[in-house]
Structure 1
Amino acid sequence: MTVNVQRFSNDTDLVAYFNRKLRLQLEQAIDERGHAYLVVSGGRTPIPLFQLLAKQQLAWPRVTIVLADERWVPPSDASSNEKLVREHLLQDQAAAAKFVSLLSAADDPHDGEQEVSERLAQLPTFDAVILGMGEDGHTASLFPGADELQRGLTTDAAALAVTPKNAPLARMSMSKKRLLNSRQIYFHLSGAAKAAVLDHALAEQDVESMPVRAFLHQQQVPVEVLLASD
């Protein structure tokens, strides 16, 4: 399965294209099965997309939004992906959407792993999964060098706790298997540095050094990379 790489000269054009595509995809899912399921990622890159998508006229009560991964901090914490989604996506029209958290009351993500996995396992096939990519080649919270990486790539569980060796804070991440239970995977990337990482990731297949390759080189789900290279 060939990865479809769409290159844009600026973020504005990328976001406009992506917003239209997601809106149509969510509408189609609602028409086909009465509900749509969208997985998003944190970070600064998707904020303009979230803000535009939130204004779209959709049957938002029939849309469920989930995060691909989360830092194990309270949702009020500035580093929380849930806080980012609530402030930028679950607003305007999209305030009516359902949100599934990756957090639990457990103090440690390992203690909350089973509860979160069971919660995610109850969800059907996702309609779209939006992933980012770090300059180290990680995606979701599947980090190179992490003790949990192999488990994240092979487990049947929907989620797992991860403690990155070169990034702050323990995390909860969807597993590869749960993320691939989707109709479409997107990578939303911006900048020359990410373009160089993407080229490296596409050129080779070693997932230990760059876990993102586990998604770019798989044959199960269509992948579209949206890259603004300004």
Structure 2
Amino acid sequence: MNRMVEVLPDSATLIQRSLEVVLDKMKAAIAGRGQCTIALAGGNTPRPLYEHIATQDLPWRSIHVFWGDERYVAPDHADSNQGMARRTWLDKVAIPAMNIHPMPTDEADPVNAASKYEAELQAFFQVQPGEFPVFDIILLGMGDDGHTASLFPHTEALQVRDRLITVGNKDGQPRLTFTVPLINHANTVIFIVAGAGKRHALDQIFAPEADATTYPARLIQPQGELWWFLDQLAGQDLKT
């Protein structure tokens, strides 16, 4: 694992630096293989990043967009990660509909929805059951509790190693989420983290030893590059 940690002075610089690296990785993937696969994060922090990407002149037909996790709500719900990304980015550019791969949230049982999305990933990446796709870019955020995607502390989802997609749980509410090994197979994983409320969890995530079931972002150790972009409030005095 090749880990880079950058503490940026404010949120605007945080987003600008994240944009630079995301665009660089997108263009490199397209130049190398003819396409880029990117999995998006939800939450408020990446929203301005998506707004900036929407202003770029990119070969949209060569970009395929997925989601690393999703709340189990309809796409037009205010809490939908898909809905946020569509409003801020995808609806504003000429990306083909077939290049957008949202997590399904219309199944009565979230377990069935997880299986459906896993099958879609296997078909798209042409991998067999038991094999893991390699995403070019996976964007992640982190909560004050150290969770990432919908991998929450002390939940069963943290232990899943034989699936691509599983059901996360937040206060009794189901979420769909990438599993730890799927994230860790990526070429590039980028955390974008802002706010003083993240400091305690970050201290534990970067500590030589700590409990990963309590601070799940510790489990993210990809085979490729791992970038941590932190604003000053989050990264102040952090020992890496």
Do they superpose with TM above 0.5? Answer: yes
Deviations 1:125-156 (A, max 9, x none): 211111111111111111112233312xx22x
8 A contact 1:89–1:95 mirrored in 2: no
**1:70 matched residue in structure 2:** 70
Q: Is the counterpart of residue 210 in structure 1 residue 215 in structure 2?
A: yes
What is the alpha-carbon root mean square deviation over aligned residues? Answer: 1.8
Q: Does 1:188 align with 2:192?
A: yes
By how many angstroms is 1:87 displaced? 0.6
CA distance in 1 between partners of 2:68 and 2:210 (Å): 22
Gaps of 5+ in 2: 126-133, 234-240
Q: Which moved more, 1:199-208 or 1:67-76?
A: 199-208
Q: Which runs of 5+ in 1 are unaligned?
A: none
Pair 1:170–1:35, CA change in 2 (3 A): same
Report the TM-score when normalising by structure 2: 0.86
* One-letter amino acid of the structure 2 residue matched with residue 139 of structure 1: T
Residue 113 of structure 1 and its aligned partner are, at CA, apart by 2.1
Counterpart of 1:199 (choices 183, 200, 203) is 203
Output the CA distance in 2 between the equivalents of 1:219 and 1:142: 16
The alpha-carbon deviation at position 19 of structure 1 amounts to 1.2
2:187/2:223 contact within 8 Å kept: no
For residue 19 of structure 1, give the secondary structure of its aligned residue in structure 2: helix
Matched residues in 1 for 2:24 and 2:117: separation? 29
| More displaced 10-residue stretch of structure 1: 68-77 or 112-121 | 112-121
Alignment length, in residue pairs?
223
Q: 1:28 and 2:28 equivalent?
A: yes
Letter in 2 for 1:221: G
Q: Report the Cα offset of residue 121 of structure 1.
A: 2.3
> Which residue number in structure 1 is paired with residue 58 of structure 2?
58
Give the 5 Å matches for 1:166-177: 167=171, 169-177=173-181
* TM-score, L = length of structure 1: 0.90
Closer, same or farther in 2 for the Cα pair 1:41/1:138, shift >3 Å?
Answer: same
The answer (yes or no) to whether the contact 1:195–1:227 under 8 Å persists in 2 is no
Q: Distance in 1 between matches of 2:92 and 2:79?
A: 23
User: By how many angstroms is 1:176 displaced?
Assistant: 1.2
Shift of 1:168: 5.8
Q: CA deviation at 1:201?
A: 1.2
